[in-house]
Each structure stands twice: as C-alpha cells, then as structure tokens.
Amino acid sequence: MDATEIIVVGVGVLAIAFVLWYFFGEREAAAASVTDGGVQQIKVMVKGGYSPDVIVVKEGQPVRFDFFRDETASCSEQVIFGDFGIARDLPAFKTTPIEFTPDKAGEFTFTCGMNMMRGKLIVEPA
C-alpha cells in the first residue's frame, strides 16, 4: 500500500468508528440539579431528539423537566413518560414544564407520541 491508500483506509476506519460510537455508544448521562426546595430540575432541548437523552434523578424527590421544543416537526409535538402515566403536548418554541415525583427506581424510557424519539430516565433508588 502506498501512503494515499493508507490514508484512505485510515479515514474509512475512523468514519466507521464514529458511526458506531454515534449510534451505539454509551451516552453521557445528565444528572438533574437540585434546587433549594428539593426539586430536581433539568432542561431538555427537543430538536430531532432529546438532549440530554439520558437523565439521572433520585427516587421519591419531585422532578421538574423543562422541555424546550426548538422545532415545529410534528414528530416531537408530544412527550410521553409511559411508566409514570404522563403524556404532554409540547408547543413549538416554548418551554413546557413537566413535574412529577418518580415513585419507583429503575430505567424508564420517555418517547415522542410516535415512539420514534427516545430518551432514558434513570431513577436511582433513594
């Protein structure tokens, strides 16, 4: 192989590694910040997905998500926390607060109304 071929192969390998990381890699989990009132707060950006899409909270303490939907794509117009019986409309370009107290520990998914966009809520045992 000459130098050009080595570079081409190298770039290809890096591109494959990036794709694998992007789709299958472990995402950085975001921990909620706790206010004086003991509410676990976290801002979630909604744009083609949820950011952050892995959120860590503690069981038995109230949680407040501020969902900011930064798009009009109909996919994201609803967010559902099925395990907690919550379904809420998210108006575009607005912040929608969703408050509840996670009463069970474990890993739960939250999704858009079509179950296409997904995020993970990790509730740590109290």
Name the site residues for Cu ion (rule: CB under 5 A).
75, 112, 114, 116
Q: Which is nearer to Cu ion, 29 or 114 (CB)?
A: 114
Closer CB to Cu ion, 15 or 116, in the complex: 116
Cβ atoms of 104 and 85 closer than 8 Å: no
Minimum distance of Cu ion from residue 85's CB (angstroms): 19
DSSP-assigned states of every residue in 44-81? EEESSSEES-EEEEETTS-EEEEEEE----GGGSEEEE
| Residue 117: CB minimum distance to Cu ion, A | 5
Q: How far is the CB of 111 from Cu ion (least distance, A)?
A: 8
Return the sign of the alpha-carbon dihedral for residues 41, 103, 120, 90. Answer: negative
Specify the residue, 39 or 75, whose C-beta has the smaller distance to Cu ion.
75
